Structure 1
Amino acid sequence: MEIEIGSFTRVEEKSVYAEVTIYTDPDSGGENVSLYLKLPYEVETTLAELEKVAKAQAIKQMRSAADWLAAKSD
């Protein structure tokens, strides 16, 4: 699995949207999921910090989705 962080778009004074793509099977050019995550933002926040938060939130969202799907398949 690979996670690619795309662009950040500032939407409010203290928020940005992050475009994140998760490639679940990159070796075979397979599946991917795109997410648009609203993240907190301060003027002092670096790009590296935003990318770290975006990656962590993307993983959290994928785990939540997997849990939801697992519960629905029971």
Structure 2
Amino acid sequence: MEIDVGNFTRVKGNAVYAEVTIYTDPDSGGENVSLYLKLPYKHETTLADLEALAKNEAIKQMRAAADWLAKNLA
């Protein structure tokens, strides 16, 4: 799996939206999932901080989705 963080868009208040794409099987042209995540933002936040936060949040969201699927489609 690979996680690619795309653009960040700042919104009103202390937040940004991040485009994150998770490639589930990049070697064989597999499926991908795109997420648009709202992340907290402070003036001193660096781009590296935002990228790390976006990746961590994407992983959390995918785990939550997998848990939901396992529970509701069993």
Q: Considering the TM-score relative to the shorter chain, is it more than 0.5?
A: yes
Gaps of 5+ in 2: none
Please give the per-residue CA displacement for 1:29-65, whole angstroms capped at 9, x wherever unaligned: 1100000000000010000000000000000000000
Task: Provide the aligned length of Structure 1 versus Structure 2.
Answer: 74
Match of 2:21 in 1: 21
Q: TM-score with structure 2 length normalisation?
A: 0.97
Q: What CA distance in whole angstroms lies between the structure 2 residues aligned with 1:11 and 1:71?
A: 34
CA distance in 1, matches of 2:72, 2:23: 23
**Hey, which bits of structure 1, 4+ residues long, moved more than 4 A?**
none
Unaligned stretches of 5+ residues in structure 1: none
Deviation of 1:13 (Å): 2.5
SS in 2 for 1:17: strand
CA RMSD in angstroms, aligned pairs only = 0.6
Identity of aligned residues (%): 74
User: 1-side partners of 2:18 and 2:68: how far apart?
Assistant: 23
Deviation at 1:73, TM superposition (A): 1.8
